[in-house]
Amino acid sequence: MLKDGLPEDWKRELKSALDSPSFQELERFVAQEREAATIFPAEEDLFSAFRLTPYADVRVLLLGQDPYHGPGQAHGLAFSVKPGVPSPPSLVNIFKELEADVGEPRPKTGSLIPWAEQGVLLLNAVLTVRQAQPNSHAGHGWEDFTDAVIRAVSAKEDAVVFLLWGKYAQKKKKLIDAKRHVVIEGTHPSPLSASSGFFGSKPFSKVNQALESKGRPPVDWRLSR
Alpha carbons 14 and 176: distance in angstroms, whole number: 16
Cite the active site residues.
66
Q: Are 74 and 68 in contact (CB under 8 A)?
A: yes
Q: What angle do CA 57, 59, 65 make, to 5 degrees?
A: 105
Sheet holding 161-165, edge to edge: 120-124, 60-64, 161-165, 182-186
Residue 186, H or E segment = strand 182-186
Alpha carbons 107 and 98: distance in angstroms, whole number: 10
Residue 184, H or E segment = strand 182-186
Q: Are 149 and 123 in contact (CB under 8 A)?
A: yes
Residue 130, H or E segment = strand 129-130
The values of phi and psi at residue 61, to 5°, are -120, 115
